[in-house]
């Protein structure tokens, strides 16, 4: 098996970038990642993007970016898996290098969601649902998450207020992340009094749509030039598992089955258990997703995932730190780029470069990116490479 490493990372600040185009966002992230990898020239570029065709009238994005960043001629492919587009692009880059046919590649996530006219962002992201049997009835991802949370509260008699600990922790972590969209701290009382969006989801239970781009340089370790030998992070597990797209087609909507299976599979490949990871960048697009994911991963029993937050176990020094740079909730959720932000943040943790956000002695990280309400679940496991070769 080829040893696959991340040799460079880059990201733009997440936010409302009304003055910066899709290609310019991508270029900033790519330039930073290439610089971080000591100028390594990749053979291919795989771009995760979710809404370019609908919101920016731009498809064919990978070829555009390859051209624009000065890499004309390289292999370029755009990858889409709804909110998991970034994670899926990473998976494709990983498989490409594992094949032995591509020695190095860029994996980019880019999204612009905030300054668009037309159908609006909520209608655009509803293309990730079943268009005939869900979206056409007026269902949106947020309404879907609200139904899941309602069901959860009813089934497990969980305290509504406990969910507030997720955004509170996320905002606390984002406070020291210069790339985060929201760096303000959130008080418990603010959460309690927050405006309702889709009952029972209030404004803090929902990650904000955002603009941003993040990039990774992947390479096979044995062919890396010597000077790129420092600060490497190895990818030891990778998986994509899907579930029924529509929630009404699932046996048990509260079980994130694809999440469970994708974590099992990636962990098996890595030769470890979920409990062996030091941090978990999970897909907290809605706080209910975080709860369901923690349960599916086995960090808590069914119906008790919220207790982890209540007991401080998701903080940087807790049992299972999540959203260490603010997560989707506070770093912001730039759609198809979110999965690459997770990867960049996990790499910074494993390099020991997370500064105020550092998880102590982080050696292993798991990242998880979802499309729809757990319909597509992508998991990657990263490990620090002890020392350079």
- Interaction site with its own copies (CB under 8 A): 1, 21, 23, 44, 50-54, 56-64, 66-67, 72-82, 88, 91-92, 95-96, 98-102, 126-132, 135, 238-246, 249, 257-258, 261, 371-372, 375-376
Q: Decide whether 96 or 309 has the Cβ nearer to its own copies.
A: 96
CA-nearest of 211, 217, 247, 248 to 231 is 217
Q: What is the DSSP string of 30-48?
A: HHHHHHHTTT---SEEEEE
Closest C-alpha among 125, 128, 92 to residue 107? 92
Cis before 200? omega within 30: yes
The CB-of-207 to its own copies minimum distance in angstroms stands at 18
Residues whose CB is less than 8 angstroms from the CB of residue 190 and which lie 6 or more positions away in sequence, other chains included: 204
- The nearer residue to its own copies, 63 or 150, going by C-beta atoms, is 63
Give 42 or 321: the residue with its C-beta nearer to its own copies: 42
Q: Alpha-carbon distance 300 to 369, whole Å?
A: 19
As beta bridge partners, residue 108 has: 47, 215
The two three-digit tokens of residue 387, written as one number: 């020392």
Give start and end residues of each alpha helix (H) in 164-218: 165-174, 188-193
Rounded Cα distance, 212 and 208, in Å = 12
Q: How far is the CB of 146 from its own copies (least distance, A)?
A: 20
| Burial bucket for residue 331 (CB in 10 Å: 0-12, 13-18, 19+) | buried
Q: How far is the CB of 352 from its own copies (least distance, A)?
A: 30
CB of 372 closer than 8 Å to CB of 129: yes
Nearer to its own copies, 81 or 207 (CB): 81
Nearer to its own copies, 30 or 168 (CB): 30
Cα 132 to Cα 347: distance, rounded to the nearest angstrom = 40
Nearer to its own copies, 112 or 331 (CB): 112
Q: Which is nearer to its own copies, 96 or 350 (CB)?
A: 96
> Is 114 in contact with 55 (CB distance < 8 Å)?
no
- Least spacing, CB of residue 122 vs its own copies, in Å: 13
């Amino acid at each position: 098996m080829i040893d696959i490493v991340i040799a460079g990372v880059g990201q733009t600040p997440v936010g409302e970038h009304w003055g910066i185009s899709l290609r310019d966002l991508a270029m900033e992230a790519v330039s930073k990642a290439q610089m971080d990898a000591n100028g390594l020239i990749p053979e291919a570029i795989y771009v995760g993007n979710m809404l370019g065709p609908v919101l920016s009238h731009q498809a064919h994005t990978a070829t555009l970016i390859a051209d624009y960043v000065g890499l004309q001629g390289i292999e370029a492919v755009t990858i889409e898996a709804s909110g998991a587009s970034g994670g899926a692009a990473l998976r494709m880059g990983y498989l490409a290098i594992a094949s032995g046919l591509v020695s190095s590649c860029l994996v980019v996530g880019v999204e612009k969601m905030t300054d668009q006219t037309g159908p609006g962002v909520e209608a655009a992201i509803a293309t990730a649902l079943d268009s005939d049997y869900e979206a056409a009835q007026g269902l949106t991802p947020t309404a879907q998450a609200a139904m899941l949370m309602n069901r959860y509260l009813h089934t497990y008699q969980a305290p509504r207020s406990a969910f507030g600990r997720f955004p509170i922790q996320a905002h606390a972590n984002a406070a020291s992340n210069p790339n985060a969209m929201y760096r303000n701290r959130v008080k418990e009382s603010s959460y309690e009094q927050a405006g309702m969006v889709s009952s029972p989801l209030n404004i803090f239970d929902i990650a904000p749509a955002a603009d941003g781009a993040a990039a990774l340089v992947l390479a096979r370790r044995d062919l890396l030039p010597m000077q790129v030998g420092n600060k490497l992070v190895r990818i030891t597990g990778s998986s994509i598992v899907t579930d029924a797209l529509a929630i009404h087609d699932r046996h048990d909507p509260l079980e994130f089955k694809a999440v469970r299976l994708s974590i099992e599979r990636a962990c098996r490949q890595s030769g470890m258990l979920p409990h062996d990871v030091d941090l978990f960048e999970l897909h907290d697009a809605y706080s209910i997703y975080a709860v369901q994911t923690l349960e599916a991963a086995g960090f808590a029993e069914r119906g008790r995932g919220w207790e982890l937050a209540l007991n401080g176990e998701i903080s940087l020094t807790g049992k299972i730190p999540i959203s260490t740079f603010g997560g989707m909730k506070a770093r912001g959720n730039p759609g198809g780029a979110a999965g690459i932000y997770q990867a960049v943040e996990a790499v910074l943790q494993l390099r020991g470069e997370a500064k105020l956000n550092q998880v102590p002695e982080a050696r292993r990280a798991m990242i998880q990116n979802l499309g729809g309400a757990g319909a597509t679940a992508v998991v990657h496991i990263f490990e620090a490479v002890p020392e350079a070769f």
